[in-house]
Structure 1
Amino acid sequence: MDRAPRIPSTRLRRRFGRLTSTLAATALAATGLVLAGGSTAGAADPNLAQNPGYESGLSGWTCSAASGTTVTSPVHGGSAALKATPAGSDNAQCAQTVAVKPNSSYSLSAWVQGSYVYLGASGTGTTDVSTWTPSTSGWQQLTTNFTTGASTTSVTVYTHGWYGQPAYYADDISLTGPGGGNPGDPVPGAPSGLRTGTATSSSIALSWNAVSGATGYNVYRDGTRVQAVSGTSATVTGLAAATSYQFQVTAVNATGESPKSSAVTGTTTSGSGGGGGSVPQHAVTGYWQNFDNGATVQKLRDVQDQYDIIAVAFADATGTPGGVGFTLDPALGYGSEQQFKDDIKAKQAAGKSVVISIGGQNGTVSVNDSTSANTFASSVYALMREYGFDGVDIDLENGLNATYMTQALRSLSAKAGSKLVITMAPQTIDMQSTSNAYFQTALNIKDILTVVNMQYYNSGSMLGCDGKVYSQGSVDFLTSLACIQLEGGLNPPQVGLGLPASTRGAGSGYVAPSVVNNALDCLARGTNCGSFKPSKTYPGIRGAMTWSTNWDAASGNAWSKAVGPHVHGL
């Protein structure tokens, strides 16, 4: 946050997610694959994958976002191979569902070529597996193994690339192990009667009608297969609170997979997503300036009533690594610190939360080892006890260390308890990828985090979650960048939109309050969007933040009068 407006910089970054892989190896005997129950599959086991060399085009395979095609060069074997091209937020996954037997072991392999090429199996009923290569200019074989669960009758095998990378190639897919069902059976029909049941903040129950000839069912969430079950019901877990999802199911047997059922939409219930004390479900955050830079000088008692979280800006570095203190600026006109403390109590009595903000444009607080992390937690907690603050806001614009800031905030949480309010105000570049330190910290403390109010200003152009470039100052900029946080793992109540209260509040990025409200409507309801529209709605999105209550007051409170009621009415 600016003590004085600064010159904006134009930055463009490509978003990469965290590249991870998991490999669960199954023991191989010298003469073959040892199967559950003591039977052994030798080298002559049939390949269960259909059209494994793509000699029949994409028959048997489904590629996301029409990303796949077949080519005659390069090929590993035969006369064709798969070419799949990632684009935007699509990683070019090509998959097929294969009938298998429960409690059995399988070996999966493929020949691949390209950058960040993955091979994996999902819906195994045990540990889903994947393996990958960072880069190969020639053909390289990827191999992994898995064991099916007690009720698993089908698995999905797949290849995919990575966001922003060139096309990859795959050929000669092999899945060996005992086949399931009878290959002569007809493909089952699409399930009917799909309906939602009990929903929690992180799960939705589904059920559907049985299909004749089916040996199992696949459950799809927003077009992606997430479960394989043997019965006619499933509970999809790991969902974000207050978020809508679309579901479909298919029936499978040894011959293949049915078309998808009609889609149904389910919405998870609201959840705090972490800490937050008495912060309302939809909240407005405002920064209160403990200095005079030309905006309206306010005492804390004068902060507009629309603000639910008031971030006192800023704490000061003490000179000891990790240490922070606070000094009330005489320019504010307080007769004593006790009057300031009384104002905090009065705001809290009115249902507001008051936190101490660490950082700002000029703030340099270093938390880079365990000692400074403990010092940070102890000094912030000391300020909370002295002044009555409800928590802390992290607004470090000169970088942070995810490992030790996580340690510091968890230590603070252990001292302060479950009512601790933790807010964050990263810059746009800090939240472009889950690999960035700010994003990592937010995810690391997701269980105690209240809200991340990213600064959608002083930014320049950035990539949205669809891989397209958006310029600041538009609904698309706000929604597509919020989408990155929501798709990256934060719960909707942990995401807020941070904007200047006036053109004087920041060097660039000011938008009219109506644009803020349109962006909130787009994210929460799917209405008033620009050219970008998220694939799902997030009714539980927390709200909005502004820099600052003082600049808002200097503009006749136009921002809070327009945005505040809209947030509270979501």
Structure 2
Amino acid sequence: MDRTTTRSRRWIGGALALAVGSGLVLVGGAGTAQAADVNVAKNAGFESGTANWTCSAGSGSAVSSPVRTGAGALKGTPAGQDNVRCSQVVTVKPNSTYTLSAWVQGGYAYLGATGTGTTDVSTWTPDSSSWKQLTTSFTTGANTTSVTVHTHGWYGQAAYFVDDVSVFGPDGGGGTDPDPVVPSTPAGLAAGTVTSSSVALSWNAVSGATGYKVYRDGALAQTVSSTSATVTGLVANTTYQFQVSATNAAGESAKSTAVSARTGTTNPGPGPSVPKHALTGYWQNFNNGATVQKLRDVQAQYDIIAVSFADSTTTPGQIVFNLDPAVGYASVADFKADIAAKKAAGKSVIVSVGGEKGNVTINSDASATAFANSAYALMQEYGFNGVDIDLEHGINSTYLTKALRQLSAKAGSSMVLTMAPQTIDMQNTGTEYFKTALAVKDILTVVNMQYYNSGSMLGCDGKVYSQGSVDFLTALACIQLQGGLDASQVGLGVPASTRGAGSGYVDPSIVKNALDCLARGTNCGSFKPSQTWPNLRGAMTWSTNWDATAGNAWSNAVGPHVHNLP
């Protein structure tokens, strides 16, 4: 979903022209490193920001998440004609072999070396949802004393990340980064916001530290790269003791003085059940030109309201919710009261994770647990009935499934779980999104695929259909229905107005015809399914705000039609 007025997705057809990526490692000797070999790259882990690196148009930046090790990594977001090329000149020894490597994640990433005096090298990888190592090697010329190593992304693709660059081989005289020393013990540890299942902590930064370990009652609770953390998954009305230590490559400091905090007792209880045929709408927690609403203003036709969006933290997998002042609430308590009122009216209010600009990394057991704990904490604190998964930058089905199952175990059978994949994410059962949906089928409420900003796509009959038609909606829904999802878990996601998305808006009459075709076998286009699915869940729109901007024309037309399905 888009946090701005429109959203688009560009695809690269055919073979990409070979370019050079991020991350470097050079290995000396004829394939075997000698005792004197070193990593001649400086600031190779981006612990000192982008020092020693030069990025095109100043487009690269150091970030604290995601990181592979330490506290920093490089992030590059290609835009326009800039592919975010970041480079460093390293000092090398003539007639020597170096191994160049780096760990990358995110969009297309390239790594290479130029000015070697022999053959320049490069390697690359397409999108990767987890850290992946790129490796190549080169030999310097007889008079070569410096080489440029570089990394970059690709035009129109997602942001890429680089960490732990290595240019390993003989020291050319430039040396390497000095070895770190064990950091001192953190000071200033204090407890902040407390909920029934979480405690927020903060402390003072320690010079030379690349990370911090947070302990709960003497046991390691989590590792973070910033000077704050929220410990989740706690028992209500219980006192805990917390400590923190500082770490880097040299080791771990002593633990800080302990602080105590007691969790709260809030428990919102289960919410209303979702009706057999439901209308879902995304509510914007930001102002992008659409009508600014409070939750109380959302049209009564909506059965599921997805609050957009949760925000990620520096802890992989962890999410928080920050109420945007732009939506006009006088206080967070006022917002929570609106959630309670909607629930009392029989509506489900859930928190959405992701969107076009949002990204949450869930690619390990630790990040899966962090997601489950933090999402449950939000459910308890705000009264959300569940979560919506709208991750548009790649997912790992194995760990996302673990995260959702852990959350379900905490929240119980009344939890509402929805998804909003893009059309490309549900083209076949082998995609990560489709695999996740099938893996959590027993706890899944509905998949509201986004039938927009996608261009032409294949239907379940193997034919290509253009977006904006009844055939496009029905033939693509058919893939999910034939691929293993129950009809009650399939919904049609469309924009509420021409301004709600970059492309793909259809008149409400098209949506109603598609619903009839799938549920009743009537009002079909050229594609008519071989069966009907009367239990089809319904429809979704982006967003309730764009719907309100157009006078609620979409929900007034589609809502009653959904509720009157067989």
Q: Where does residue 410 of structure 2 map in the other structure? A: 415
For each residue in 1:10-53, what CA deviation from the matched residue of structure 2 results, as whole angstroms up to 9, or x when unmatched?
A: 7699xxxxxxxxxxxxxxxxxxxxxxxxxxxxxxxxxxxxxxxx
Give 3-state SS (helix, strand or coil) of 1:315's partner: strand
Would you say the 8 A contact 2:455–2:466 is kept in 1?
yes
Q: Where does residue 560 of structure 1 map in the other structure? A: 555
Q: Where does residue 355 of structure 1 map in the other structure? A: 350
**Amino acid paired to 1:539:** P
With over 3 angstroms needed to count, the CA separation of the structure-2 counterparts of 1:12 and 1:531, relative to structure 1, is: farther
Q: Where does residue 306 of structure 2 map in the other structure? A: 311
> Which 4+ stretches in 1 moved above 2 angstroms?
5-13
Would you say the 8 A contact 2:271–2:348 is kept in 1?
no
- Tell me the distance in 2 between the aligned counterparts of 1:277 and 1:11: 41
Q: Where does residue 504 of structure 1 map in the other structure? A: 499
Query: In structure 1, which of residues 420, 429, 433 is the aligned counterpart of residue 424 of structure 2?
Result: 429
- Tell me the distance in 1 between the aligned counterparts of 2:390 and 2:505: 19
| Cα displacement (A) at 1:333 | 1.2
**Amino acid paired to 1:503:** T
Would you say the 8 A contact 1:277–1:421 is kept in 2?
no
**Amino acid paired to 1:304:** Q
Give 3-state SS (helix, strand or coil) of 2:362's partner: coil
Would you say the 8 A contact 1:11–1:460 is kept in 2?
no
Would you say the 8 A contact 1:11–1:461 is kept in 2?
no
Q: Where does residue 284 of structure 2 map in the other structure? A: 289
Matches for 1:395-406 after TM superposition, within 5 Å: 395-406=390-401
Would you say the 8 A contact 2:5–2:288 is kept in 1?
no
Would you say the 8 A contact 2:351–2:387 is kept in 1?
yes
Q: Where does residue 25 of structure 1 map in the other structure? A: none
For each residue in 1:85-125, what CA deviation from the matched residue of structure 2 results, as whole angstroms up to 9, or x when unmatched?
A: xxxxxxxxxxxxxxxxxxxxxxxxxxxxxxxxxxxxxxxxx
For each residue in 1:432-469, what CA deviation from the matched residue of structure 2 results, as whole angstroms up to 9, or x when unmatched?
A: 01000000000000000000000000000000000000
Q: Where does residue 474 of structure 1 map in the other structure? A: 469
Query: In structure 2, which of residues 517, 523, 540 is the aligned counterpart of residue 522 of structure 1?
Result: 517
- Tell me the distance in 1 between the aligned counterparts of 2:406 and 2:463: 39
Q: Where does residue 382 of structure 2 map in the other structure? A: 387
| Cα displacement (A) at 1:567 | 0.1
**Amino acid paired to 2:411:** A
- Tell me the distance in 2 between the aligned counterparts of 1:338 and 1:5: 29
| Cα displacement (A) at 1:540 | 0.2
For each residue in 1:181-229, what CA deviation from the matched residue of structure 2 results, as whole angstroms up to 9, or x when unmatched?
A: xxxxxxxxxxxxxxxxxxxxxxxxxxxxxxxxxxxxxxxxxxxxxxxxx
| Cα displacement (A) at 1:473 | 0.4
Q: Where does residue 2 of structure 2 map in the other structure? A: 2
Q: Where does residue 342 of structure 1 map in the other structure? A: 337
State, as a whole percentage, how many aligned pairs show the same letter: 74
- Tell me the distance in 1 between the aligned counterparts of 2:430 and 2:272: 29
Give 3-state SS (helix, strand or coil) of 1:481's partner: helix
Give 3-state SS (helix, strand or coil) of 1:314's partner: strand
Q: Where does residue 443 of structure 2 map in the other structure? A: 448
When the two chains are superposed, the root-mean-square deviation of aligned CA atoms in Å is 1.5
How many residues were matched structurally? 309
- Tell me the distance in 1 between the aligned counterparts of 2:470 and 2:373: 40
Matches for 1:94-173 after TM superposition, within 5 Å: none
With over 3 angstroms needed to count, the CA separation of the structure-2 counterparts of 1:526 and 1:313, relative to structure 1, is: same
Would you say the 8 A contact 2:272–2:347 is kept in 1?
no
Q: Where does residue 457 of structure 2 map in the other structure? A: 462
Gaps of at least 5 residues in structure 1 are 14-274
Give 3-state SS (helix, strand or coil) of 1:497's partner: strand
**Amino acid paired to 1:330:** P
- Tell me the distance in 2 between the aligned counterparts of 1:418 and 1:449: 10
**Amino acid paired to 1:2:** D
- Tell me the distance in 2 between the aligned counterparts of 1:382 and 1:363: 19
- Tell me the distance in 2 between the aligned counterparts of 1:301 and 1:539: 31
Q: Where does residue 367 of structure 2 map in the other structure? A: 372
Query: In structure 1, which of residues 535, 538, 549 is the aligned counterpart of residue 533 of structure 2?
Result: 538
**Amino acid paired to 2:506:** V
| Cα displacement (A) at 1:5 | 3.6
Would you say the 8 A contact 1:552–1:560 is kept in 2?
yes
| Cα displacement (A) at 1:4 | 1.5
**Amino acid paired to 2:286:** F
Q: Which structure's CA Rg is the greater one? A: 1
Would you say the 8 A contact 1:290–1:328 is kept in 2?
yes
Would you say the 8 A contact 2:453–2:503 is kept in 1?
yes
Give 3-state SS (helix, strand or coil) of 1:281's partner: coil
- Tell me the distance in 2 between the aligned counterparts of 1:331 and 1:489: 41
Give 3-state SS (helix, strand or coil) of 1:519's partner: helix
Query: In structure 2, which of residues 477, 488, 493 is the aligned counterpart of residue 493 of structure 1?
Result: 488
For each residue in 1:484-539, what CA deviation from the matched residue of structure 2 results, as whole angstroms up to 9, or x when unmatched?
A: 00000000000000000000000000000000000000000000000000110000
Gaps of at least 5 residues in structure 2 are 14-269
Give 3-state SS (helix, strand or coil) of 2:492's partner: strand
**Amino acid paired to 2:3:** R
- Tell me the distance in 2 between the aligned counterparts of 1:553 and 1:390: 24
Query: In structure 2, which of residues 478, 484, 487 is the aligned counterpart of residue 483 of structure 1?
Result: 478
- Greater length-normalized contact order (CA 8 Å, ≥ 6 residues apart): 1
Q: TM-score, normalised by structure 2?
A: 0.54
| Cα displacement (A) at 1:431 | 0.2
Would you say the 8 A contact 1:355–1:421 is kept in 2?
yes
